[in-house]
Amino acid sequence: MTIPVLGLGTFRLQGQHVIDSVSMGLELGYRHIDTAQIYGNEAEVGQALAHSGVPRNEVFVTTKVWTEHLGRDQLIPSLKQSLDKLRLDQLDLALIHWPSPDDAIAVAEYMETLAEAKSQGLARQIGVSNFTIRHLEQAIAVVGAEEIATQQIELHPFLQNRQVAAFCREHGLHLTAYMPLAYGKVMQEPVLQRIAARHGATPAQIALAWLLQQGCSVIPSSTQRANLAANLQAQALSLSEEEQREIATLERGERLANPEFAPRWD
Ligand SMILES: NC(=O)c1ccc[n+]([C@@H]2O[C@H](COP(=O)([O-])OP(=O)(O)OC[C@H]3O[C@@H](n4cnc5c(N)ncnc54)[C@H](OP(=O)(O)O)[C@@H]3O)[C@@H](O)[C@H]2O)c1
């Protein structure tokens, strides 16, 4: 299965909140769920998946390997634990969540081990997240661009990450946009509000449609049924060239996910 373009994010959602969000999402038609070892919710995501009745081969499940599990001896056991929590035999996609802080562990070591996890059948596809161009070059040198199913990065109208996005396009790397709604901030943006009014849509839907039209997958999160449904419907929108150009002017380098262990961004 290729990566479905519209997925459901689960960052920050814990306990019953994540169970409800994933259950509602699956009911509404989402078939792509994005979690991570550090989110502490893989078991609840697994519970919601198991109780949904959606056949396993119809849903695409991603998890991400945390920075403390990047060593040669930790990575594969950590993915086996993720599979146990998720109640799955195989992930659809396993990502390196962040490059090793200060590059304490070499890209070659964890990309080789991730490729080994794939060949052992733990994941159907592998990829990366929060990689800079330098990290991407190293990853490509180790496993080849065709083995990297996606690079998941923060992308929204206020952070368009143009350098790394251009590098990915040049090398045929698919992009997945995380925080595509700038954690809800898109709702207050006047240009997006104006375009939304023209389409009888919401600014959130416009932000998602804009990313989808660039060929990205998007993984918005929501705890509200109405928002989950609206985000799914963003796929039906089509923005004009002029509208896409207007949204491109909203770039302001506003990075929301920037922990102290982040790499030096491009
Ligand atoms: N790889 C990484 O390092 C990384 C980092 C961050 C995030 N991610 C992934 O990306 C996913 C998305 O990012 P995110 O959850 O941080 O932020 P987001 O999806 O940009 O925004 C979520 C926020 O927007 C609100 N919202 C959602 N749909 C809406 C709508 N239609 N109208 C108005 N408000 C709406 C939600 O509130 P309600 O709940 O009230 O709807 C929530 O407060 C995460 O869940 C995670 O899976 C990955």
Contact 76, 61 (CB under 8 A): no
What was the pLDDT predicted at 33?
A: 98
* pLDDT band, residue 102 (cuts 50/70/90): very high
Distance 11 CA to ligand 1 centre (A): 7
With 0-12 / 13-18 / 19 or more C-beta atoms within 10 angstroms meaning exposed / middle / buried, residue 247 is buried
Q: What length is written for the chain?
A: 266
- Distances 263 to 66, 121, 160, 162 between C-alpha atoms, Å: 15, 30, 17, 17
The verdict on pTM exceeding 0.95 is: yes
Distance 178 CA to ligand 1 centre (A): 8
Q: What average pLDDT does this structure show over 117-135?
A: 98
Q: Is 257 in the pocket of ligand 1 (CB under 6 A)?
A: yes
Contact 42, 253 (CB under 8 A): no
What was the pLDDT predicted at 215?
A: 97
Residue ranges and CATH numbers for the domains of the chain are 8-248 (3.20.20.100)
Rounded to whole angstroms, the Cα distance separating 99 from 110 reads 9
* pLDDT band, residue 1 (cuts 50/70/90): confident
Task: Look up 183 and say whether it is catalytic.
Answer: no
